[in-house]
Structure 1
Amino acid sequence: MKNNKQYLLLQQTDKKLEAFKDLKATVVPAKGWVNTFRTALKMSLRQLGNRLNIAPQSTKEIEEREANGTITLNSLRDVANAMDMQLVYGFVSKHESLEQMIGKRAKELATEIVMRTNNTMTLEDQQNSKERIEKAIAQKTNEIKSEMPKYLWD
C-alpha cells in the first residue's frame, strides 16, 4: 500500500474487529435480545415500561421493532440502560481481515479489466495464453491493492 497512513488505519481497524470475530457464530434469538433478556430477568412488559417511562404496549412495540429489524440504536441503548446493561454494536467481517476483503475486490476488478483487454485482443486475433492472462491479473491485483483507487468499491 502506497499510503502508510491508510495502511496503519487498516491495521488498527482489523485489530478492533478481532474482538468481534467470536460473535460471528452467535444466533440472534427469534424474538430479539430485548425479549430474551427481559424474559430471562423475569421482568414484565409493565416493569420494563416503567423503567423506560412508557406504556407496556409501547414496550411490546419496541420488542417487535427489534425482532423485525426496524428499531433504532437509540431505542436499543435506552432499553439496555433500563435493564442495567450496555449496548455494544459492531461489524463482523465475512473475511479473515480487511486486507483480505480488499484483495478479493482488487482481484475481481483486475480480472474484469484484464479480460476486457483480452477480449479486444482476441477480436484482433492476438489472444494471450492462459498463463499470461493469470500473470496480468496478479500484477493488476497488486497494483490495485497498493494504490486503493477510488473506483475500488464502484
Structure 2
Amino acid sequence: MRMNSNQAALARKQLDRRLEPLRSANLIPPPKGWIKAIREALGMTARQLASRMGVAPSRIPVIEKAEITGSTTIKSLRQAAEALDCQFVYGFVPRSSLDETLRARVAQKTGRTISRLDHTMKLENQALQKPDLLLEQQRMIDFALNGSLRGLWEDD
C-alpha cells in the first residue's frame, strides 16, 4: 500500500530524528580499516581472527584489504565484526535532513520550469518581474511537496 503525502512527511520526520545523531557523529574510518585496527587493538593475530571466523589464515589480509578498497561484502564485514565481538552497523546517513534534500530537489526542478516559463513569456512580451517569478516558484514548491513525489527524481 502506497503512503499518502502526510504519511510520507511523518515517516521522513521520524527517520530524520533517528538519523540526526549519526549525521553529527562524523565517523572517519582508520587508515588501515576497522577490522585491522580493532584486531590489533585487541591484540588478536590474523591467524586468531581467521580461526574465529572459520576461514583460512590467508583470507584475513584479503578481507582487510577489501575493506580498505571498498570491495568487501556486507557478509564478510558481519563475520569479522562477530569474530571481533563487535556490532556491525550499516546505514546511509543523509548529509542534510530528508526534508531539506526533498525541498532542494523540488526547488531545482521548479526552477527549470520557471526559467522556461519566463523565457516563453519574454518572447510573448509578457515578462514577469523577479519577485513574481520567485513567488510563483514558491507556490510550485509548496504544491509539489504536498502532492505526489513520483516523478521528482526523474531526470529531465
TM-score normalized with structure 2 length: 0.90
Letter in structure 2 aligned against 1:141: I
From the two aligned structures, give the one with the greater helix fraction: 1
Paired position in structure 2 for 1:58: 59
Aligned length: 151
4+ aligned runs moved over 4 Å, structure 1: none
Matches within 5 A, 1:16-27: 16-23=18-25, 25-27=26-28
Between the aligned partners of 1:113 and 1:20, the Cα distance in structure 2 is: 35
Do the aligned residues in 2 keep the contact of 1:20 with 1:91 (CA within 8 Å)? no
Q: What is the CA distance between 1:98 and its match in structure 2?
A: 0.9
Matches within 5 A, 1:27-38: 27-38=28-39
Verify: 1:121 aligned to 2:145, yes or no: no
Verify: 1:80 aligned to 2:107, yes or no: no
CA RMSD, Structure 1 to Structure 2 (Å):
1.4
Deviations for 1:47-81, whole angstroms, at most 9, x for unmatched residues? Answer: 11111111222111000110001111111010011
Letter in structure 1 aligned against 2:16: D
Do the aligned residues in 1 keep the contact of 2:23 with 2:95 (CA within 8 Å)? no
Paired position in structure 1 for 2:141: 141
Deviations for 1:67-121, whole angstroms, at most 9, x for unmatched residues? Answer: 00111111101001111111012222111x2111111111111111111111111
Between the aligned partners of 1:10 and 1:77, the Cα distance in structure 2 is: 28
Do the aligned residues in 2 keep the contact of 1:20 with 1:90 (CA within 8 Å)? no
Paired position in structure 1 for 2:8: 6
Q: What is the CA distance between 1:148 and its match in structure 2?
A: 3.8
Identity %, equivalent residues: 32
Gaps spanning 5+ residues in structure 1: where?
A: none
